Structure 1
Amino acid sequence: MMSNAFAIAETGMKAFQAHVDTIANNVANSRTPGFKSARVEFHELLEAAPAAPGPAALPAMLGVAARTRTADFSAGHLLPSTSELDIAIDGPGFIPVLAPDGTRAYSRGGALHVTDSGTLALAGGELEPRIYVPAGGGALHISAEGVVAARTAQGLQEVGRISLAQFPDPGALRLLGNGLAAPAEGAGPPTIGAAGREGAGRIVQQSLEDSNVDVTRELVSLMAAQRAYALNAKVLQAADGLVASANELMK
């Protein structure tokens, strides 16, 4: 039983350390455009129930563990920008991008740039479908519906359209970093279509989406997590004291 006390306290300390680390990352990125806050969910660790029927067959709790972090994809405030290559989404939806490893990922926007091959890209990868900007083209104009036009000697020339993807449960997406998310179990298949249609948000040029981190809420959660970590440490100390007392009695 005493070994169980050590194990339970250890799992609690590890779980709440992961919780503190997640909160710290949220606070550190509270001013990062497009950043989505994350939270840690906890679940009980149970040992297998005995084979005997009756009340003795109930499983015993062996501690707690932190599940994989889940993201809060609620929208942040839109911040005006002076760059024509900054884009944000006003409403639901994600911009599909082709990540460097060849997989498809999803972004809420950010600073666009033109790659060496002439395609438009965000920090996480090229827009998908690809949009090619003509060499020597001037300023870009991006409509609320995602239509991208480049200014040429002949005037504005449409070069492509930014599509938006919607998921049945966007909260089930998995954060990849660099402003990207990937589908995970429960997110459902994406529906890809034009911006501003069928419930999708609209593209806003010269804007960036602010982080959705609520610093006050995060600091309150941090205090609670630190207190829970300290309580688990006291359980560990108490168990150690009981073992020491038992050893003294056996001498």
Structure 2
Amino acid sequence: MLRSMYAGISGMKGFQAKLDTIGNNIANVNTYGYKKGRVTFQDMMSQTVSGAQGPIGDDANNNLRGGINPSQVGLGSQIGSIDTIHTQGNRQTTSRPLDLALEGDGMFVLAEGTETADINTNTKTIALDDVNLSFTRAGNFYLDDDGAIVSPEGKYVIGETDGEAEIITIPEDAQSFSIQTDGTVNYVDNQGEPQEAGQIRLAQFSNPSGLQKIGGNTFQNTDNAGLFTDDNGQIALLEAGQDGTGQMVSGALEMSNVDLAEAFTEMITAQRGFQANTRIITTSDEILQELVNLKR
């Protein structure tokens, strides 16, 4: 069989994966905190017809023949990587105090307990070693029945007080509350006195593209994400603006970083690439048909 036919098949598979990624980007153009994907390609190992040769000459350096370059035939393309691009998305004003946007790096930390002992709702403390942690850029948070700040999926937003991870809770009788740029949550109690409920903390990664998407606008840590840790090897809960993390903006949300103009352009080029590879298969099939017809 012709090598060009298999090269065309590999190209079709690659461009199909690119079209799938572009389609997912377009579908999430209005998803809070969404980070777009990108597909890169690599060539497959080439078949060597003849190897390279150096010049041939005598000791006096009188060359009898010059060098010869290698002759190779490519065998198609393959997917090199599917990257997640963590660039800053546009900020949309909502005027809702529990909507938080991050201006810069960092991610909100969410916790979900597997047992009742993992999250002590009486003292509002969390043992980070015993809970499932996830991370998000989508800051559309809510208050549950206990007044705790949670994600749309009911995961607790993690804060810290005196070096201990905690759930941030706003009392039911609070007259009002606000969230500062450093993550500090303040409220006015029923006596009209200002109080502090806690401070929302952030996680920082040296390689955020190494995070794994798990749905629900959340990411999961991996061995290649470079999560910042403290001296004890536990996750470092950083104050907003610390160690390169961004400031929090209350009353706003970070939108998707998908650029529709770019996405449509990439979609057109991927479609044309797919069509070109189908033409390779068609042409190769016509050549094979001519070979079959030779014996007639």
2:277 corresponds to which residue? 232
Deviation at 1:134, TM superposition (A): 4.6
* Paired amino acid for 1:176: I
Shifted more, 215-224 versus 128-137: the winner is 128-137
- Preserved CA contact (<8 Å) 1:46 1:59: no
* Paired amino acid for 2:218: L
- Preserved CA contact (<8 Å) 1:45 1:65: yes
1:177 corresponds to which residue? 215
1:107 corresponds to which residue? 136
* Paired amino acid for 1:142: I
Q: Does 1:89 align with 2:102?
A: yes
2:292 corresponds to which residue? 247
Q: Does 1:123 align with 2:183?
A: no
- Preserved CA contact (<8 Å) 1:86 1:205: yes
TM (normalized to structure 2)?
0.73
- The structure with the largest helix share of the pair is 1
- Preserved CA contact (<8 Å) 1:34 1:210: yes
* Paired amino acid for 1:21: D
Runs ≥4 residues deviating over 4 A: 53-60, 99-102
Deviation at 1:115, TM superposition (A): 3.5
1:24 corresponds to which residue? 23
Q: Does 1:133 align with 2:169?
A: yes
TM (normalized to structure 1)?
0.85
2:246 corresponds to which residue? 201
Output the CA distance in 1 between the equivalents of 2:168 and 2:86.
Answer: 29
* Paired amino acid for 1:69: I
What is the total number of aligned residue pairs between the two structures?
248
Output the CA distance in 2 between the equivalents of 1:15 and 1:202.
Answer: 39
The CA RMSD measured in Å over matched residues stands at: 2.9
Q: 1:148 aligns with which of 165, 176, 185?
A: 185
Deviation at 1:33, TM superposition (A): 2.4
Deviation at 1:29, TM superposition (A): 2.0
Deviation at 1:54, TM superposition (A): 4.8
Gaps of 5+ in 2: 54-69, 115-130, 159-164, 230-235
Output the CA distance in 2 between the equivalents of 1:40 and 1:123.
Answer: 30
1:44 corresponds to which residue? 43
Output the CA distance in 1 between the equivalents of 2:254 and 2:262.
Answer: 20
Listed as ranges, the matches of 1:55-94 within 5 Å are: 61-94=74-107
- If you compute each CA radius of gyration, which structure gives the higher value, 1 or 2? 2
Output the CA distance in 2 between the equivalents of 1:201 and 1:179.
Answer: 19
Percent of counterpart pairs with the same letter?
28
Deviation at 1:167, TM superposition (A): 1.4
Gaps of 5+ in 1: none
- Preserved CA contact (<8 Å) 1:23 1:218: yes
- Preserved CA contact (<8 Å) 2:203 2:227: no
Deviations 1:146-191 (Å, cap 9, x if unpaired)?
Answer: 1123443143332221111221122333333322223345432325
Q: Is the partner of 1:168 in helix, strand or coil?
A: coil
Deviations 1:99-147 (Å, cap 9, x if unpaired)?
Answer: 5885322111321123456532223532234424255243432111111
Deviations 1:58-80 (Å, cap 9, x if unpaired)?
Answer: 98643222245211111112111
Q: Is the partner of 1:41 in helix, strand or coil?
A: strand
- Preserved CA contact (<8 Å) 1:94 1:108: yes
